[in-house]
Chains A and B, each alone.
Chain A
């Protein structure tokens, strides 16, 4: 006699999570009566029937379904809590795979809510299966964003009170408020009629993915008998009588017929294009110099906005790069108004730099008095403060050397009222504070003014002018 056998498809035959000698090698790790296995079967069956298993990457969440990769006979990635939309976006955009994001309510609706809404709003080609059982399952039944009003959990033992814990989040309704999603539906696993309906919705969502039409979201009201302290059958009644009242079943969006396949321009990840993008294809050879005695140099540069504070930092960074040093440039814009004070920190080192923050600089460049007063006491003993002579008389901290540079005046004498920072750059070079080779400073100026090449000879002249001033005026 011929017969038809109804059995699971798209699911591995054995689940070796606990080793091959497990007495029940094909039993899941889920509790008795859990909804995950039911949904796994529906998804696996649809994938197999649609012939999509080998084209699919399933993303396991953090939560009870963290081990979903033991079950789905597809490609699998397990990701950090709530981050399935980001990883799914990456897989979907970098490959032609069908991507399933399988997530629970803690994962998707709490820590991952922002990414969920953003991915939905971008219309990413992702089939999201959202398991809503009103609690955090894996961690022991804490209140979730989806916990019903009055429902008791271990973290709301008197029942969820909207006055202190807010109201249940309705994810389908949120997703359906966005324009991009193609298919949004809420289903339940509480009885055979609802399971058949869930089976249809799962299949439809995966058909949308097969056709590349965009974002689908299927919310699945699912039992968690263990954490709800109910029998499996009583949990079905809870879903039918209480959950569905809060979370009505039904379709919230169906553009499956009219939606067109989403075709995005190809991304070019070739080495050549990335090198060009990051300007790595035009790095000149390193400038040789003796750096055997070098230690780390920490620099703070501060002044009014418009004084070239940040660009002086970048020029110094360029010079360090030209000499193949490790270097960091860390601007501090602060919330001040435009034209307010700004500063940046530069660290030059032979070693990898851990933090770009400079607390105690070896060199402080202060372009105005507020900057001088704010940072002078941070300078290391034996350090140097270069400050604009226009600041006037100053009191230096003990053990710190001060160099008053008439930077603004010198810049004007040298031919540009806007080049006070280049003057400071030249003084830095001549004082030898950074121990970078001379050619590195010239190359930094060329790089900094690459887009205004007319200014390069002028700034090289100003650099030399500043060096000459040091020779004549600084002991």
Chain B
């Protein structure tokens, strides 16, 4: 799936995710979901649905894994 990199978007590290679901619950735009496939460690890792992220970072701050989610926010060209 192609993500529009001119808009904010999360990168979810599939390997580190433990499928707790906190990010899905915390997302105000409901653009995260628990994925269908198992990761290497046996968890259904969370996925970004591909559009709609506003870069609020709620998912980043609520995620218990330090390196499972990163938020990319494009800056206006100067």
Interface residues, chain A, with chain B CB atoms under 8 Å away? 1-8, 11, 13, 23-24, 26-28, 30-38, 40-42, 44, 71, 189, 191-192, 195-196, 199, 225, 231-233, 236
**A39 CB, nearest partner CB in chain B, Å:** 9
State whether A24 touches B21 (Cβ < 8 A): no
State whether B41 touches A24 (Cβ < 8 A): yes
Q: Name the A residues within 8 Å of B43 (CB-CB).
A: 32
State whether A4 touches B73 (Cβ < 8 A): yes
- Decide yes or no: A6 and B57 within 8 Å by CB, A232-B21, A236-B25 being known contacts: yes
Closest A-B pairs by Cβ, 10 of them: A37-B64, A33-B20, A32-B18, A232-B20, A32-B20, A6-B71, A8-B66, A26-B67, A192-B58, A7-B70
- Decide yes or no: A2 and B75 within 8 Å by CB, A24-B16, A33-B21 being known contacts: yes
Interface residues, chain B, with chain A CB atoms under 8 Å away? 5-6, 13, 15-16, 18-22, 25-26, 28, 40-41, 43, 55-58, 60-68, 70-75, 77
**B65 CB, nearest partner CB in chain A, Å:** 6
State whether A34 touches B64 (Cβ < 8 A): yes
- Decide yes or no: A28 and B66 within 8 Å by CB, A2-B75, A192-B61, A195-B61 being known contacts: yes
Q: Name the A residues within 8 Å of B58 (CB-CB).
A: 192, 195
**A391 CB, nearest partner CB in chain B, Å:** 76
Q: Name the A residues within 8 Å of B60 (CB-CB).
A: 6-7
Q: Name the B residues within 8 Å of A26 (CB-CB).
A: 13, 16, 65-67
Q: Name the B residues within 8 Å of A35 (CB-CB).
A: 64
Q: Find the A residue at minimum CB distance from B78.
A: A2
Q: Name the B residues within 8 Å of A33 (CB-CB).
A: 18, 20-22, 64
A189 and B56 CA atoms in complex are apart in Å by 17
- What are 13 A-B contacts defined by CB distance under 8 Å? A2-B75, A3-B74, A4-B73, A7-B67, A7-B71, A26-B67, A32-B18, A33-B64, A42-B61, A191-B26, A192-B26, A233-B21, A236-B25
